[in-house]
Structure 1
């Protein structure tokens, strides 16, 4: 059984405390060994996830930060992370997993929906948000994810009524679900199963969004 090990977290703690190129060069062999182990874990998650969903792409994120346009010039991330993309255009939504010391979490949803997708979602919610509200108010959803998260506008988007009863959802710019894990949970033998179960629990939300983005406002399929 593929498990996350204490040494996988320890190397990230050391990197965070010594986030410079000199330390990284001196410890690169050990770091790569730990990183490869976590990547293998990510790939076993991919295999399990692909058995219950259709995954178009797996993206293993590099440890190197892009500092070109950032005031923070620290060269390395302090986490291992991976993204799993569902097969478009019929299946929308993406899965994300980050492993980090005291900062491991699963995320999923719509991080940066393009302009047309965001407008389509908002128009749907303007018309009727009852199905989405039912999903996010279910006991199991609240227990696992607490609430629907994501950045939002302070007021209504352009051409939308600020007094609309669904304006709390319409003004969102992102539609995300997130579940956090303690280090103890990450190191548990059951962690991989929990990861896959969490991804599976996102499916009703993803299915709703896929139906919305795959149809026009009259419910006619776009594909």
Structure 2
């Protein structure tokens, strides 16, 4: 089935779910989730798979075993294309609209050490700085989980201390309610934007491979 856009019903579904995150709401609107959210997301990622790879579409249920928040359902639908462990492309639909991103969301201590050593390296670290600066200039929001202080073993006055503090690293771009999210043209828009993030992912794969 070709991707034709996310209908307005997808945004309305998540608006209402934020107000009533319950099994009774979900059961009453299960068909809306299927036709307005799940099927369009599957169609979207299938059309992008030829260039970026097969996506994992996340389950709508939350894992509440270790959470104080026992709300049963996620208030967004995400999909992720892996290029390395915990590293890849991302797209998400929710009440505030659509957003895309790329980066790594988790790293073992060994991998994180390898990434930090590459950030410390004069040539590799400067390369990452240039990649991040270019993405920011193009409208991407650079972020991730960071330490409040310098990582152990690193000088707090290091010229790239802001990058060294990262435990995860990502860039995100919001489309919000842009009309394009309701059209087939969304595929090409995401394709272009994911291509912009490829240098960052390539850097992370090359320097985080242990």
For the 8 Å contact 1:156–1:170, the answer to whether it is kept is yes
Q: Match for residue 117 of structure 2?
A: 123
Regions of 4+ moved over 6 Å: none
Give secondary structure in 2 for the equivalent of 1:41.
helix
Give secondary structure in 1 for the equivalent of 2:82.
strand
Alpha-carbon offset, residue 28 of structure 1: 2.1
Alpha-carbon offset, residue 94 of structure 1: 0.7
Alpha-carbon offset, residue 173 of structure 1: 0.9
Q: Pick from 169, 175, 188 the counterpart of residue 175 of structure 1.
A: 169
Q: Match for residue 83 of structure 1?
A: 80
Q: Quick check: 23-32 or 165-174, which moved more?
A: 23-32
Q: Match for residue 41 of structure 1?
A: 43
Q: Match for residue 19 of structure 1?
A: 21
Alpha-carbon offset, residue 65 of structure 1: 1.0
TM-score (norm 2): 0.87
For the 8 Å contact 1:120–1:212, the answer to whether it is kept is yes
In 2, the alpha carbon distance for the partners of 1:168 and 1:63 equals 34
Q: Pick from 129, 135, 143 the counterpart of residue 131 of structure 2.
A: 135
TM-score (norm 1): 0.82
Give secondary structure in 2 for the equivalent of 1:135.
helix
Alpha-carbon offset, residue 75 of structure 1: 1.1
Q: Match for residue 149 of structure 1?
A: 143
User: Within 5 A, what are the aligned runs for 1:1-223?
Assistant: 2=3, 3-47=5-49, 50-51=50-51, 53=52, 55=53, 57-86=54-83, 88=84, 93-128=87-122, 129-138=125-134, 141-146=136-141, 148-184=142-178, 185-214=180-209
Tell me how large the CA RMSD over aligned residues is: 2.2
Alpha-carbon offset, residue 14 of structure 1: 2.5
In 2, the alpha carbon distance for the partners of 1:93 and 1:113 equals 9
For the 8 Å contact 2:21–2:73, the answer to whether it is kept is yes
Q: Match for residue 217 of structure 1?
A: none
Matched residues, number: 205
In 2, the alpha carbon distance for the partners of 1:194 and 1:32 equals 24
Give secondary structure in 1 for the equivalent of 2:102.
strand
Q: Which runs of 5+ in 2 are unaligned?
A: none
Give secondary structure in 2 for the equivalent of 1:144.
coil
- C-alpha offsets along residues 6-60 of structure 1, whole Å, 9 cap, x if unaligned? 122222222222211122222323332323422333333432xx32x4x3x5211
